[in-house]
Amino acid sequence: MKSPDRSQFSLLVVDDNKENLKVVSNFLKKEGYQIALALNAEDAMNILKQNEIDLILLDVMMPGTDGFTLCKKLKKDPSLADIPVIFLTAKTETNDLVEGFDAGGVDYITKPFKKEELIVRVNNHIDLSYAKKKIIEQAEQIERINRTKDRLYSVIAHDIKSPFSNISMLISTLADGYLEPGSEDYNEILQSINSSSNETYALLENLLQWTRSQTGNLEIAPEEIKLEELVGNIIRITDPIAVKKKIKLKMDVPDDLVLEADNNMMRSVLQNLVSNAIKFTNQGGRVMVTAGKKNSDIVIKVIDNGVGIPEKNKKKLFVDEGQLTTRGTNDEKGSGLGLLLVKDFVQRHNGRIDIESKEGEGTTFILTFPN
């Protein structure tokens, strides 16, 4: 593995002898490291609370809290326990060295310092720490890929297979000639095929975008978006679904309001939220999209007077832990991917998403973006 850039790492040197601090600091600065210095345990703790430190060089014999005691304290703190500690000591007895390792140290350097030994030991432990972090990152990435794969299989097995089977069965009914073209039953089946096809296409589109976002293959291409045009297009696309449920779709967006964002991602965000609002609004209800400026932010709201969201489910909506899916007011299905995509895309634009909802009265999704 290639050695990391030393300037990316911060080291803390703790020693009550200022001359020792100066010597160690000079040696390590020439290697490119960022150096923080402390004369005692209290100063060291203050530095550790305020800065991200990658390795600690810790003197054993200090007035007040000695190095062994400080190291034990660090190892009990979950936020500091993983920082490797190298002891600086004039003690070379076996018992002293064993005590240092028992306290949580990973190595020791004897005084007086030898420049070459100091640099080699520090570099080795930084390299080990760097390699450990890379292994953890790779393990997390593999776990994320496995979760993505499992979700893919689950959606394909349940949420895509089912509507395709339904479409196939309906088409077979028409193809076998059991129904008279133009009859009420014939037209009803055609509408069912159209509805199932649209739902399945929307699901596939969400699935593909979500997969790309999870595997890191989705890049943001920001541009100036006229929100009135974008929202207007979303309204036109989703209106046929709303008409079927006799839901009124409205918008209130200034014609001069511009958001700098990825157009495809914003379209996906708003289309998912509007479709979701229609899904959970009863016959004869209403869904409205508004947008405007608030201080230095742009705020977009998708408002419905639908069934609302139970308080216990609010926090589960944006968490990828299985499939929290609820059927719509017309028994519409969903994969649970839509809101995961919404959260992901909003966060990629440094935005925030909030929910206001009351059961039986409706829901408002609030998107806030820095202008």
Domain spans, the chain: 6-113, 141-218, 220-371
Q: Which residues pair with 225 in a beta bridge?
A: 259
User: What type of residue sits at position 136?
Assistant: I
- Written as one string, the DSSP assignment of 25-50 is HHHHHHTT-EEEEESSHHHHHHHHHH
Q: How far apart are CA 269 and CA 253, in angstroms?
A: 16
DSSP string over 172-239: HHHHTT-S-TTSHHHHHHHHHHHHHHHHHHHHHHHHHHHHHHHTT-----EEEEEHHHHHHHHHHHHH
Contact, 234 vs 270, CB < 8 A?
yes
226 contacts: CB under 8 Å, gap ≥ 6: 255, 257, 258
Q: How far apart are CA 108 and CA 10, in angstroms?
A: 19
Angle at 280 between CA 275 and CA 283, to 5 degrees: 100
pLDDT at 111: 83
Q: Which CATH superfamily is domain 6-113 in?
A: Response regulator (3.40.50.2300)
Query: Tens-of-pLDDT digits for all 371 residues of the chain?
Result: 567 889 889 999 999 999 889 999 999 999 999 999 999 999 999 999 999 999 999 999 888 899 999 999 999 999 999 999 999 888 767 787 788 889 999 998 888 878 898 999 999 999 998 898 889 888 887 887 777 676 666 556 555 665 677 678 788 888 888 788 888 888 888 877 876 787 677 667 766 766 766 666 667 888 999 999 999 988 888 887 888 899 999 999 999 999 999 888 888 889 889 988 998 999 999 999 999 999 889 999 999 999 998 888 877 777 755 445 566 666 565 545 678 878 888 998 999 999 999 988 999 999 999 97
53 by Cβ neighbours in 10 Å (0-12 / 13-18 / 19+) ranks as: middle
Q: Within 10 Å of residue 299's Cβ, how many Cβ atoms? A: 18
Residues 6+ apart with CB under 8 A from 121: 86, 107, 109
Residue 263: the pLDDT is: 87
- pLDDT, position 188: 82
Distance between CA atoms of 349 and 266, rounded to whole angstroms? 10
pLDDT at 334: 53
Instruction: Measure the CA–CA gap between 109 and 67, rounded to whole angstroms.
Output: 13
Q: Give the class (CATH, top level) of 220-371.
A: alpha beta
Which CATH number describes the domain made up of 141-218?
1.10.287.130
